[in-house]
Every structure is written in C-alpha cells, then in structure tokens.
Structure 1
Amino acid sequence: MDLDPALAALRPLGAFSVLHVSRPAPARPAATPLAHAYTPVYGDPAPDVHPDPLGFRVRKVATALGTTEHRVAASVAHQGLAARLWSVALACAVLYGHIPDLDPGRLHWDPDATAPDDLWLTVVHARPSDAGTLADAVLTTHLVPLADAVHARWGVADGLLRGNAASALAGAGRELGRWARRHGRTGTADRARSLTAALLAHPLLAGTGTLTGTSFRRRSCCLYYRVPGGGVCGDCCFRRPPGQN
C-alpha cells in the first residue's frame, strides 16, 4: 500500500501511532520543527520558532510528575518522545510498506500537547521500510541529537538514554503486534516483531537489553522510581526500586 497524503491507515491504531499531516503546520504558541528542539534558538528567535521546546517539555513533565529532579523529568520526556517517533515509524512500515521522510525540519512538535496532537508533518515523502532506513529515520536523525541535547543539558547518562530508546522501540513494537493480532493480522504482527528485533540489534542499541519474543528487559533504568510514588517499570533492570528490600 502506498503512503496516502493523510496517513489515514494509522488512525485505527490509537492516538500514540497517529501522525497528522498539514501544510502549513498549525500555528500554536509552543510548536516548532523538531530540529529546534535539539538545538534551541536562544535570544531572538523567528516568530514561528519556540526558543526552547525541549526545556519547556522537561519543565512540563517535572510539574506533572511532581518532581524537582529535572534529570528524572528529562529522562521521562526523552523516552516519551522516542516512543512517539518509533510508534509512527513502525506503524507506517508494517501497514504501508513505506515510511514517511521524518526530516526534523518538516516534522513539527508541540511540547505542550499530548498524542496525537503533538506531532505533524508538513508533507509526506515516502522512504523504504527496511530496518536500515528506519534506523536512519528515527535513530540517527532524531534520537542521537535528542540524546546529545538531554545529556548535555540535564546530565542524563548516555547509556540510560540508549536504554530509553531501546525500551521505547520494544514497547512500540509490542503494542503494534498486539493490535495486529487482535485484528487477525498475523503477517503485520510478524513484520512488527522482526523489524523490532532487527532495530534492537543496531549498533546504537545493541547491548541495551534482552528481547525474548516481544518481551524486553533493559540493562538500565529510566529513573522513574525517583518520582514521588513511582516504582519500577515493567522492563526495568531493577526488580524493585533501589534502596528497598
């Protein structure tokens, strides 16, 4: 199936896998091309560019979680954006057989919004859906500069951020597979599983955890246990929050 201009095939999967398409991008106070999230425009930005979308998002997440540890909020915000990007790319790959070009200059992000209203493209250009192209579209183009920014600004460890990227990928693949099996689309589920496994073997993600079927156990922790009232995630390297017996 060819990519349609509205990416309508993604809508039945639920909000987290939806990617809006609009040219021009909707005018929203906090919205900006994702390229500017990785390299904030301080000083006097253009009128359509938010000066610091990533910082805005981290502060918003910190408030929502009730934490004063911005390192923790930065990790959670990083994993959330990684999960959105993987969900969109994987869904397009398995449903269309192509992915859209996710150029960070054309992929817009509203850090004040939730899925599906946080991401939209200004135009759809098809790319192949093999694992190498997916890795280039998501890992190299987005998650590497995102991790660099989060590490530099909030001191989140590189290994933790690689674990976040892998955990987000495994979760996106698992949810896509579950949706496909519920609807009797075993071929789609198999494609989601094989792409997820191939991507987790990529040099940028290799060694971040162990994939068994669709279950993933990471070798790092996203720090969510440090949120007031938080615990460990289902794929965490810890069985219980550190410090608890």
Structure 2
Amino acid sequence: MVLLLFVDLDPGLKALDALGGFFVLRTGVPPCGPLPTLASAWRDPRSGTSEEVYGDPVTFRVRKVAESIRTSEPRVAVSVAQQGLAARFWSVALGAAALCGRLPDLDPELLHWDPDAGAPDDLWLREVRFRPVADLDAVVRAGLLVPLGAALRSRHRVQPALLWGNAGSALAGTVRELDRWALAHGRPDVSGRARTLAGRLLAHPDLSGTLDPGTLRRRSCCLYYRVPGGGVCGDCCFERPPRPAPRRT
C-alpha cells in the first residue's frame, strides 16, 4: 500500500512558499499597479491592441535581462529570460502537484507578470481555481511554454530547439530542487511524485530529446557561456565554454 501524504493547498497557495522562491505564486490583484497578464504580454504588438504600461512587455523583459547580464546578443538575453520563466512555471505547477496533489490553473489570461521585476520572475494569479494533476502538460507545456516560445520567436531570431532545451533543463532543475527539499524534510513521497510526473512530461515530443535520460544533462546549450564571465551551467552539454570560431581572413 502506498501512503500519500499531501499538504493542503490553501486558496492563497501559501503552502508553496515553503519550497523556495521559484515556487511562490502570489494571488489576487497585484497591489503594485496594473501588471500585464501573460496572455496580453504575448500578443503581437503590431496588432495595435496592446495598451500595456510597458509597451511590448516581452521586448521590455528581454532588454532588461540583456542589461542585467551585460550582453549585446539578443538571442542570449532571450534564452536567459525564457529559461527563467520556464523555471517558474514548472516550479509552481510541479511543486503543487508533488507536495499537495493539486494543480492551480495557470491560465495566461489570469496570470499576471511583472516584466520589470528581478529574478525569479514575479507572478500573480488573479483567480485561484484548480485542475486535475493529469493536466500538467496541458497547463504548462501547451498553455504557457508554447505561446511564450511563439511570442519570443515572433520578435527575435531564436531556434525552437534552444527554447525547448531550456524548458527541459528547467524541468530537471525543478525536480532537483524538490529532491533537496524532500530529503531535508523527510518527504521521499514528494520526490517520488515529482520524478514520476516529470518523466511523463519529458515523454512529449517537444521535450523528449532535450535531456540525457540517465543523467538529465541537457543535450543543447542555453548560450549562458556567452555572457561575460558566465561559463557553463551545471547541466550543460559542454564540459567547458566552446572556443569562438576563427575569423576568416
């Protein structure tokens, strides 16, 4: 017999705070002013329907990240910005599912985002409602990562494989964080559920080739090595930063 020890996921989602900063999801109307929903942020600014405080929030965020990490390469800033959001999406959803056995509905029409915040990205869920844990893929991959990738690619020249590699890496990172929390708090059931759910998510064609199945080491690079002083990440496909290609003479 398997004993399921779920923590109650209250309407304010405060139970997630115990897991760490990336798992926090604020609820209600943001008190800091009108923040765009993710759905409005992702709309094509050329449609003429945007009335956001930040103009085009996606472009605003990418530029803010570029300034923060001191890069002049837009695709590097896009990669870092997208991976940060992917980590937040996976953390909130998988954390709730593994710890509480419930999944908050992260509808992009209800999920507010502050493109001017630091890291981790600041998210507010205006209305709390729940969906079955079986909807994890629909909520995060299909509901959030697909439109985020489309919005970024409509504004910047970036390959889908890079973004899906980031998403796979962010999912693996979420599992590792839940493993650490579970070990520290004597909750192997949380770790086990997280790994089982992540395994199902990684079976989708968008994510299935992004990680080595044995080590969860990614098979692509997020380009962080191109950030001044960045080096390679712990799960990078490279052992050391690649050398720049020699200039043609």
Same structural fold, with TM-score higher than 0.5 when normalized by the shorter chain: yes
RMSD, matched Cα? 1.8
Displacement of 1:75: 0.6
Aligned residue in 2 for 1:173: 175
**In the comparison of the two structures, how many residue pairs are matched?**
237
Displacement of 1:27: 4.2
Aligned residue in 2 for 1:216: 216
Equivalents in 1 of 2:19, 2:75: separation in Å?
A: 32
Aligned residue in 1 for 2:4: none
The amino acid across from 2:150 in the alignment is: D
Alignment equivalent of 2:31, drawn from 19, 26, 29: 26
Equivalents in 2 of 1:145, 1:243: separation in Å?
A: 33
Displacement of 1:86: 0.4
The amino acid across from 2:234 in the alignment is: G
The amino acid across from 2:18 in the alignment is: P
Displacement of 1:114: 3.3
Equivalents in 1 of 2:103, 2:32: separation in Å?
A: 25
Q: Secondary structure at the match of 1:119?
A: strand
Query: Structure 1: 5+ residue runs without aligned partners?
Result: none
Contact 2:23/2:91 (<8 A) preserved: yes
Alignment equivalent of 2:73, drawn from 69, 73, 80: 69
Equivalents in 2 of 1:84, 1:195: separation in Å?
A: 17
Aligned residue in 2 for 1:86: 90
CA deviation string 1:195-221 (max 9, x = no partner): 112111112211112133xx4211111
Aligned-pair identity in percent equals 58
Equivalents in 1 of 2:69, 2:121: separation in Å?
A: 21
Q: Secondary structure at the match of 2:65?
A: helix
Equivalents in 1 of 2:183, 2:121: separation in Å?
A: 27
Query: Structure 2: 5+ residue runs without aligned partners?
Result: 1-6, 245-249
CA deviation string 1:164-207 (max 9, x = no partner): 11001110111012101110001111111111121111122111
Structure with the greater alpha carbon radius of gyration: 2
Displacement of 1:116: 6.3
Contact 2:40/2:50 (<8 A) preserved: no
The amino acid across from 2:12 in the alignment is: A
Equivalents in 2 of 1:107, 1:241: separation in Å?
A: 36
When normalised by structure 2's length, the TM-score is 0.89
Contact 1:62/1:68 (<8 A) preserved: yes
Aligned residue in 1 for 2:148: 146
Displacement of 1:25: 3.3
Aligned residue in 1 for 2:9: 3
When normalised by structure 1's length, the TM-score is 0.90
Aligned residue in 2 for 1:37: 41
Aligned residue in 1 for 2:3: none
Contact 2:95/2:178 (<8 A) preserved: yes
Aligned residue in 1 for 2:232: 232
Equivalents in 2 of 1:116, 1:205: separation in Å?
A: 23
Equivalents in 1 of 2:119, 2:77: separation in Å?
A: 18
The amino acid across from 1:128 in the alignment is: P
Aligned residue in 1 for 2:21: 15
Equivalents in 2 of 1:108, 1:26: separation in Å?
A: 12
The amino acid across from 1:58 in the alignment is: V
Alignment of structure 1 residues 89-238 onto 2, 5 Å: 89-114=93-118, 118-130=122-134, 133-212=135-214, 215-238=215-238
The amino acid across from 2:222 in the alignment is: C
Q: 1:44 to 1:147 in 2, by over 3 A?
A: closer
CA deviation string 1:35-59 (max 9, x = no partner): 122214455744x654311111111
Q: Secondary structure at the match of 1:109?
A: strand
Q: Secondary structure at the match of 1:28?
A: coil
Equivalents in 2 of 1:126, 1:115: separation in Å?
A: 26
The amino acid across from 2:130 in the alignment is: A
Q: Which has the higher strand share?
A: 1
Equivalents in 1 of 2:210, 2:202: separation in Å?
A: 8
